[in-house]
């Protein structure tokens, strides 16, 4: 049910901000007239206002005055400048939810000091664009339980949302943050494989996309079955599937996936250290 009084502001109007706006409106968490967006790029402001009926501004000052809840949706490299510019206008009555990758709670809280701004850090992923994100949330020192619940409702509007300790967000980045790229690479390989064995690219793409979609839907629809059990359902003794799986095992497929997640996690740690 939509909030009757509060307004929600977005500092930054990029794709992830728009995905959240779509989800929030669809879930009736806020009405369009309660949403405000600060976006320096004029044509982008016009797009957001026309598509969603939100109020737009060229800078964040009006949002800080009108919105007790703010979503920081700018590129990580400009977070410090944004926080330092507006730190005098942010206070204990503000909840700041950041989706800037790699920017720690400590980093943000130090730049907002001495004001005890309530901060929550979120790591979403790009399927938020189709309201199918996997997001992890971590609260800062001053955040309250009701702040965390509100943030969780916002991100649940664009997919699944879990609350974790901040120290685990690098692992989240390695798994679900970077994960879509692994899946798209696998999808691309399936399509090329279909072409290699004689299918047209159009047909191979159609079948490969639907195969991945159907497999994920089956996994979601049967939570009582683990991935090994689902794999066994399509792996007959001496059949085609076990022949293909044998090749994947010889190539170290699962180990490579694990290594990829670990490498992305370590890179997230490095980026977080500046």
Q: Which of 152, 173, 194 is the last residue of a domain?
A: 173
CATH label of the domain that carries residue 194: 1.10.3730.10
1: in domain: no
Whether 4 shows a pLDDT value over 60: the answer reads no
What does the pLDDT look like over 136-192, one tens digit per residue?
999 999 999 999 999 999 999 999 999 999 999 999 999 999 999 999 999 999 999
Domain edge (last residue) among 173, 191, 223: 173
CATH number for the domain harbouring residue 104 = 3.40.50.720
Strands (E), the chain: 8-11, 35-38, 55-57, 69-72, 95-98, 118-123, 133-139, 159-163
Specify whether 22 is located in the same domain as 135: yes
pLDDT in tens, 213-272: 999 999 999 999 999 999 999 999 999 999 999 999 999 999 999 999 999 999 988 877
C-alpha torsion angle, residues 189, 229, 218, 215 (rounded to 10)? 10
The confidence score (pLDDT) of residue 1 equals: 47
Q: Mean of the pLDDT values across residues 3-22? A: 88
Cβ count within 10 A of residue 157: 23
The reply to whether 164 and 182 lie within a common domain is no
Surface-to-core class of residue 202, CB atoms within 10 Å of its CB (0-12 exposed, 13-18 middle, 19+ buried):
exposed
Q: Convert the pLDDT of each residue in 82-110 to its tens digit.
A: 999 998 899 999 999 999 988 999 999 99
Instruction: Flag whether 226 is in a domain.
Output: yes
Mark whether 201 and 91 lie in a shared domain.
no
Claim to verify: residue 109 and residue 154 sit in the same structural domain: yes
Give the pairing of strands 133-139 and 118-123. Answer: antiparallel
Q: Looking at the structure, tell me whether residues 158 and 240 fall in a common domain.
A: no
Q: What is the pLDDT of residues 54-83, one digit of tens each?
A: 999 999 999 999 999 999 999 988 999 999
- How far is it, in rounded angstroms, from Cα 232 to Cα 230? 5
Based on the fold, state whether residues 12 and 124 are members of the same structural domain: yes
Q: Is 2 inside any structural domain? A: no
What 3-state class would DSSP assign to 34? helix
Range of the domain at 219: 177-272
The per-residue pLDDT of the chain, averaged, comes to 94
Number of structural domains (the chain) is 2
Task: Based on the fold, state whether residues 157 and 195 are members of the same structural domain.
Answer: no
């Amino acid at each position: 049910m939509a909030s009757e009084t509060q307004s929600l502001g977005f500092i930054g109007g990029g794709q992830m901000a728009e995905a959240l706006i779509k989800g929030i409106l669809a879930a009736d968490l806020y009405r369009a007239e309660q949403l405000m967006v600060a976006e320096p790029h004029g044509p982008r402001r016009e797009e957001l206002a026309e598509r969603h009926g939100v109020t737009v501004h060229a800078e964040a000052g009006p949002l800080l005055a009108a919105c007790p809840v703010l979503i920081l949706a700018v590129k990580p490299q400009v977070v410090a400048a944004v926080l330092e510019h507006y730190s005098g206008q942010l206070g204990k009555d503000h909840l700041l939810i950041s989706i800037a990758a790699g920017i720690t709670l400590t980093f943000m809280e130090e730049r907002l000091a001495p004001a005890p701004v309530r901060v929550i850090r979120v790591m979403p992923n790009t399927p938020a664009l189709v309201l199918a994100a996997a997001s992890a949330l971590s609260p800062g020192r001053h955040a309250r339980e009701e702040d965390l619940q509100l943030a969780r409702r916002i991100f649940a509007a664009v997919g699944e949302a879990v609350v974790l300790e901040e120290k685990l967000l690098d692992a989240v980045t390695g798994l679900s943050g970077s994960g879509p790229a692994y899946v798209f690479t696998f999808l691309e390989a399936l399509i090329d494989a279909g072409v290699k064995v004689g299918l047209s690219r159009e047909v191979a793409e159609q079948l490969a996309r639907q195969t991945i979609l159907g497999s994920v839907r089956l996994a979601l629809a049967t939570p009582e079955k683990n991935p090994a059990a689902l794999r066994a359902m399509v792996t007959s003794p001496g059949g085609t599937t076990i022949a293909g799986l044998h090749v994947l095992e010889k190539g170290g497929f699962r180990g490579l996936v694990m290594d990829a997640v670990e490498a992305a996690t370590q890179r997230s740690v490095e980026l977080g250290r500046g």
